[in-house]
Amino acid sequence: MSKDADLADKFWKALKSDRTVMLGLPDHEGGRAQPMTALVENVHAGPIWIFSAVDVDLVQAVEGGAREALLHFASKGHDLFATVEGNLRVDNDREAIERLWNPFIAAWYTGKDDPKLRLLRFEPGDAQIWLNENSLFAGVKMMLGVDPKTDYKDKVGEVRLH
């Protein structure tokens, strides 16, 4: 498996497990991102789905059509970080809502037909992914005369996620 494929694989697995992302539009509200829960159906590819509500400013900004967006992710153990460029749009696809609906989503709405419900679809494009080398391990390597930057070069990459 190539370095990029390995990084992408680790990203998708971490996102499917941890699910909290920061999502924003670079040209909206000064690029401010907000926390959202991401749902991934496929461990190796997008789209990334996000349930939200019509009164959320991010939703209002994409209600008229797809917009360029940025998704930031840090795994719970802080062993993987990513910034993903992509397109964000409202996609109230009934089949997707049915597939993705779960008790955690249901707690926020009066049901799948709640008029406030919006399903966002993030289509990932280019990403930068970082694997976090254990700093203690890197310190030991430095004491042994090993350059930690040499190891680190395989732990960061520009990756195409779609």
80 vs 59: CA distance, rounded Å: 27
The predicted structure's pLDDT at residue 45: 80
Q: Which domain holds residue 25?
A: 3-160
Report the CATH number at residue 20: 2.30.110.10
Query: For residue 46, what pLDDT is reported?
Result: 81
pLDDT value of position 159: 72
Q: Phi then psi for 86, rounded to 5 degrees?
A: -175, -170
- Where do we find the tokens 């494929």? 5
Q: Tokens in use for 42?
A: 């496929």
In this model, does residue 18 exceed pLDDT 70? yes
**Mean predicted confidence (pLDDT) in 71-77:** 94
- The count of domains in the chain is 1
Compare 21 and 157 and report the one with higher pLDDT: 21
Q: Which of 30, 33, 31, 90 is nearest to 62 (CA)?
A: 90
pTM of the predicted protein model:
0.82
Over residues 98-141, the pLDDT tens digits come to 999 999 999 999 999 999 999 999 999 999 999 986 654 555 55
